[in-house]
Each structure stands twice: as structure tokens, then as C-alpha cells.
Structure 1
Amino acid sequence: MSDALINGLAGAGGGIIAQLITYPLQTVNTRQQTERGLKKEKSKLGTIEQMLQVIKHEGWERLYGGLAPSLVGTAASQGVYYYFYQIFRNKAEAAALERRKLGVGDGSVGMLSSLVVAALSGCVNVLFTNPIWVVVTRMQTYKKNLKKSESGPELSTAQDEAVLAAAEPPPFGTTHAIQEVYDEAGVLGFWRGVFPTLIMVSNPSMQFMLYETMLKKLKQRRALSKKDNSGVTALEIFLLGALAKLGATVMTYPLLVVKSRLQAKQVTTGDKRHHYKGTSDAILKMIRYEGLYGFYKGMGTKIVQSVLAAAVLFMIKEELVKGARFLLTNKVKSKPP
């Protein structure tokens, strides 16, 4: 099994576990990002309060709206990303060694090369998986009608229950979201928001650049230390992943908001402030009607969700890679000569 495949599978596994743990925060954050409002009009509810409101009015299952396609998207995204990352990384390392033979550099991959490797991997990932995330965004931002207790007096008969149940909209599943996107914009609708998403490749690029730089320095410090320490612990990987994601998220969050606005259901009638024709139109309308605050809606929630998810992902991925390499090494050793 190739090193690229091991990293791809480990990345997919770590991504799925991180997604399961942090998904309710992701749902609330997507709703915060897609809220339309005037300048200085801020949500009075915090993240926990919004989660409780969703549970009260729509049911706890809405916090997991779009979970199935999201897990598919996470597995695909992390698998594709890590697979191509390792391939491009191997090429970069080989090129660095060749330059060293020519007397240029020390044979290691520098920060700029790491950034390019991460960016190329991210672009491939975006082009492959953008349709999945459009569907996930639609399902996360779909809102059910209020529960029965919110709509009027308590029901007294089974007939009243049946009438009210009939008035409820059908469950909004993956096929409904796919059909809605297709009816709205055809096949190209599944690539809505791809432009800001491609620009947002800088987020994981920065994340991996920061992560690998910090990891490299930590390993160098360990090597120089007199203490007997064989490597980096899972807790240290967790903390490095969290710090790397924090820095990348703060720098690129406005692009994430624009992407979510474009991928959410578009309002084609009524207030034109809420309808976006494209990336530039969305940016201009957000600046005009919401100010700079609009680009940072829900950033606190996103920082908690993304930092936690990234830290869990890095920790689990590294442990899975170590485990896979250990098993493969023992398997090779156990074979008779």
C-alpha cells in the first residue's frame, strides 16, 4: 500500500470522526452565515441559544440536517486532499533533494513549496467535491415549520393532529436538495460558490503550512533536547492542529461567508438585497447593506467548530497512519525469507 493511499484513507477516517463530533456547530454556523440583515443588525442569540431554538422549534434532528451527504463529502474531501497532497509532497521532496545535489538548499521542503503543494491539492479537492457541499448547505439552511405548540392552542382530537400533520412540509432530504439546486440553476448550480471556494484553498494551505512548520520546529527542538523522547505525542498533534486552523480561519472567514450565501437557496422574488447573481454581486450587496460585520457573522461559532474538528482530524489521522505503517512493517517482517 502506497504512502499516499495510507494518508488518504487516514485523512478520510479522521475527517468523518471530526465531522460527527462537530456537526451541530457546523449547522448553526451555516445558518448564521446565511442570515440577511441590515448594518448593525446583530443576532441577539449566542451559539448555544440558537442550537436550543432549533431543537425547540424544528426538532433536534435538524441539527444533523445534511449529515449523510456531509459525511460522504468529508470522506471524499479528506481522502482526495490527503491523497494528492502526499503525491505532490513527494514530488516536492524529490525536487528539494535534487536541488541539494546541485548545491542549492538543505534538501528540505520550504514554506513556499509547502504552500504550493497544499494549494494544488485543495484545488483538485474543490473541483471534485463542490457539488456535495452545495447540497449540504441547502440541507443545513432548510428550516421546518414551527412545532404544533408554537402555532396555536393545544390540539384536542386525533383529527386535529392529522390535519396539522398534513399541513407540514415533507421531509427535506438529499434528493429534494439535489432537485432544488437543479431546478434553480441546472447542472452549473452544483458549482455555485466554486470561485470563492477556490480562493479559500488558501485556508487549508495556510493551515498545513502553519502546522508543518510548527511540527518541524517541535521535532527539531526534540532532536536537540537531551531528554529521551521518541516523538510527538497525540496531544501535541491536537494542539498544533488547533493553532494552525485558528490562524487560517481568522484570515479567510469572509470568503467562507460569501460561499455559503451563494450556495444557500436564492431568493428570486421580493427583496433584491437577498438575491445574489454571483460572487462580485454578493460581495457588493453585503458591503452596501450589511457592512463589514456581514462578512464575519458566526465567526465565533466557526472558530470553535473548525479548530476542534481540525485538531481531532490531525490527531486521529496521525494515529491511523502510524497504526497502518506499524501493521504493514510487521507484516513484511513476518513473511518468510
Structure 2
Amino acid sequence: MSESNAMANGLAGAGGGIIAQIITYPLQTVNTRQQTERTLKGNKLGLPHSPNSLLQILQVIKSEGWGGLYSGLKPSLLGTAASQGIYYYFYQVFKNKAVAIAAARKVIGHGDGTVGMFGWLVVAAIAGSLNVLFTNPIWVIVTRMQTRTQAERKIMEGKKEALRREASESSSTDSTLQGKLAELESIKPQQYGTLHAANEIYSEAGIVGFWKGVIPSLIMVCNPSIQFMIYESSLKHLKAKRAAKNQGNRNVPAFEVFLLGALAKLGATVSTYPLLVVKSRLQAKQEIGGSSLLRYSGTFDAILKIIRYEGLPGFYKGMSTKIVQSVFAASVLFMVKEELVKAFMALADKSNKLLLKS
């Protein structure tokens, strides 16, 4: 029964994650671009400040079409299904073990037979770590595809600046410079799909490149840990409250689950957002940084350079967008997941009854 319960949670988590991902993906794309945009303290380079999320969405639609908002959607859906399936499967497996351990401890006179907050934290952390190690390559590819336009723009700006320097240091005429600049402008973007992104990552850093950002990702395991600690504790309280009022009926309505998911994700997102910024910047193409001061060789290099050249605000770029996207996505995910788990378990019970009759 516990195995079927874990499988039901794994499948439901994958289904809920895919639905939430499709609905909120444009916000995720914009948020990744906001996170990876580098600006020196005081905007010393004269770079324009990033527009708000709505204006940025409209700009992407205008310059790249609707497809720009969904860059990397296919690998992202694969990553979401894999991440949610792996996470919820292992979460349920270790949750069942934690419940069994708590029950066994009660028998020998230790505890009240329930899993405490620390127990939920450990369960979520183990499941999250396994999820990160298995799926990090997918998210590196997704980040590359979402930020491709930024990288191309920075590379083009670098080439133009090099041409201007060359013209100023030599006897090149304005017409020659203008011709070379026009030639650069005429270059059309090459097709850039999942395989192109994967080949680019491999050519830059080999297999290791697919695990860029894995250190902040592993540290960020505390995000779902905090999220599920809040969620499980609140859900347990609600179920007990409803059981007392409704003669043992512990079912929590979908809307209340939706609100619980939102509250849990909000607390987790605000506390761990700086790590998400570091992860995204490591996974994106480093040409986005433009200046060598804003390119990173690793996690600690990124943290130190963000503090030195951008200050603390650099760690919170795009946070308002992320809060809206992640809270809404988590709420949808939890609501859909709980309903799918009920449906799967009902089907399993019906199948068992039919087997017993036969």
C-alpha cells in the first residue's frame, strides 16, 4: 500500500507540475532574464534599468513573438515532470519511513507517534537532494534557452565595440565602419533548440558543464524543505481541526490546499531567492555579463562579485516576478496534486476490490 501511495504521489506531482509550468512559464522566462541581467552599483556603465515584468513580457512579444516567452518550454516540461515525479516519489517513500519510525517510537514510549517539523525537514531535504542531482542538466539547458537573446545581444555589442575601437586606432573611414556594422546587423539568429543548447554547454565545459550551479541548487534544497515543513504542519493542523468539527472527516477542500501551498511557497521563496539568482547566473552563458568583472568562474566567485560590484540588491533582481510565478505555480501544483492523488488512490481501491471479488 505504501508503495502504491508513493507511486500515486509521484505521478500526481508530475501531472500537477506540468500544468503549473505551462500556465506560469512566460513569467519564469522573464524572471530568469531579470536574474541574469548584470548592472554595476549606481549603474556606472549607463545600462538601462530592467523594466517591470509586464513591460518586459510585452517587449519580448514585440521583438521575439510569443515563442520568445516559451523558449525552452519542451525541456522545461520534461524537467518539471522528472523533478516533480522524482521529488514526490522519494518524498513519499521517506515520509512513509518517517511515519513508521514515529509509530515505532511511540510503542516504546518515545514521542506521540507523529512526525515533528524537523522530521519533515529531513525528509524533504533528502528527496530534494536526489532530485537536484538527477535533473540539474535539464535546467542548465532550459536556462541557456531562456537567456539566449540576452547572450546574443551582449556578444553583438562586444563585436560592435571592438569594431569602433579598431576604427579609432586605424585609418578606417566612417563608411567602412558603417559597412561592417551593417554586416553585423544583417546576421540572422541561428536556430537554437535543445540539442544546440546541449552541444554549446558540452563544447564549453564538457560533461561538467551540465552540473553548473549544482552547489547553490543543493543548498536550495532548503527551499522545498521549508515549503513542505510549513505545508505539512499546516495541513496536519487543518485536518485535525476538520476531524474534530466533522465527526472524523479529515478531507481538506481544494481551495484551502491552494492557499496553504501559496503560503508555504511564499515563505520558502523569500528566504532562498539569492541562491536562485546565483544558480541562474552560473547556468547562463557568461557573455551575458559583458564586462569580465561580471563573469563568474564558480559559486563563490559569483557571490563575491555580486556583493562587490552590484551590492545586496543584485541578489534580489526579479524577486517580485518570482514570488508571483512560484507562489501561483505552487498553489496550482498542490491543488492539482491532491486531487490527482485522491483519483489515483480511488482507482487503486476499486482495482483491489475487483481483484478480491475475482
For normalisation by structure 1, the TM-score amounts to 0.91
Note the aligned Cα RMSD (angstroms). 2.1
Q: 1:96 to 1:230 in 2, by over 3 A?
A: closer
2:203 aligned with 1:197, yes or no? Answer: no
Paired residues of 1:4 and 1:82 also in contact (CA < 8 A): yes
- For residues 186 and 297 of structure 1, what CA distance do their matches in structure 2 show? 30
Asked whether 1:187 is paired with 2:198, we answer no
| Deviation per residue, 1:222-265 (Å, 9 max, x gap) | 12226896520010111100000000000000000000000000
Q: What are the equivalent positions in structure 2 for 1:1-12 lying under 5 Å apart?
A: 2-12=4-14
In the other structure, the counterpart of 2:164 is none
Aligned to 1:167: 187
* 1:29–1:187 distance in 2 versus 1, CA, 3 Å: same
Cα deviation, 1:31-78, whole Å, max 9, x if unaligned, reads 000001012448351100000001111221010000000000000000
Q: Which residue of 2 aligns with 1:324?
A: 344
The alpha carbon displacement at 1:165 in A equals 11
Check the 8 A contact 2:220/2:272 in 1, yes or no: yes
- Equivalent residues of 1:267, 1:274 under 8 A apart: no
2:294 partner letter: H
After TM superposition, the structure 1 = structure 2 runs for residues 80-99 of structure 1, keeping only pairs within 5 Å, are 80-99=86-105
Pick the structure with greater CA Rg. 2
Q: Structure 2 matches for 1:301-312, cutoff 5 A?
A: 301-312=321-332
**Is 1:20–2:25 an aligned residue pair?**
no
Partner of 1:34 in structure 2? Answer: 36
**3-state DSSP class of the match of 2:149?**
coil
Distance 1:13 1:270, change over 3 A: closer
Deviations 1:142-188 (CA, angstroms, capped at 9, x unpaired): 11879xxxxxxxxxxxxxxxx99973121211111001111111110
Within a 5 Å distance, the mapping from 1:69-88 to structure 2 comes to 69-88=75-94
Amino acid at match of 1:317: K
Instruction: Say how many residue pairs are matched.
Output: 321
TM-superposed deviation, 1:220: 1.4
CA separation in 2, counterparts of 1:306 and 1:178?
26
Identify if the C-alpha distance between structure 1 residues 271 and 166 changes in structure 2 by more than 3 Å, giving closer, same or farther: closer
Aligned-pair CA distance for 1:5:
0.9
In structure 1, distance between residues paired with 2:340 and 2:229: 21
- C-alpha spacing 1:75/1:269, structure 2 compared with 1 (3 Å): closer
SS in 2 for 1:186: helix
**Matched residue of 2:192: which SS?**
coil
Cα pair distance change 1:291/1:165, threshold 3 Å: closer
Aligned to 1:210: 230
Q: Which residue of structure 2 aligns with residue 52 of structure 1?
A: 58
The gaps in structure 2 that reach 5 residues or longer are 154-182
Q: By how many angstroms is 1:18 displaced? A: 0.3
Quote the Cα distance in structure 2 between the aligned partners of 1:258 and 1:100. Answer: 43
Q: How far did 1:28 drift?
A: 0.1
The question of 1:141 aligning with 2:147 is answered yes
Matches within 5 A, 1:268-307: 271-307=291-327
Q: Quote the offset at 1:334 in angstroms.
A: 3.1
What is the CA-CA distance between 1:87 and the residue it aligns to?
A: 0.8
CA distance in 1, matches of 2:119, 2:249: 29
Pairwise CA distance, 1:270: 6.0
Runs of 4+ in 1 over 6 A off after TM superposition: 163-166
Separation in 2, partners of 1:208, 1:228: 24
Contact 1:39 1:293 in 2 (8 A): no
Please tell me whether residue 132 in structure 1 is matched to residue 132 in structure 2. no
Check whether the contact 1:192–1:263 (CA below 8 A) recurs between aligned residues: yes
Equivalent residue in structure 2 for 1:243, among 253, 263, 271: 263
Report the counterpart of residue 123 of structure 1 in structure 2: 129
Per mean C-alpha deviation after superposition, the further-off stretch among 203-212 and 38-47 is 38-47
Residue equivalent to 2:174: none
User: Amino acid of the residue matched to residue 118 of structure 2?
Assistant: L
1: distance between equivalents of 2:106 and 2:149? 58
Could you tell me how far apart the structure 2 residues matched to 1:201 and 1:28 are? 23
User: CA separation of 1:95/1:229 partners in 2, compared to 1, >3 Å: closer, same or farther?
Assistant: closer
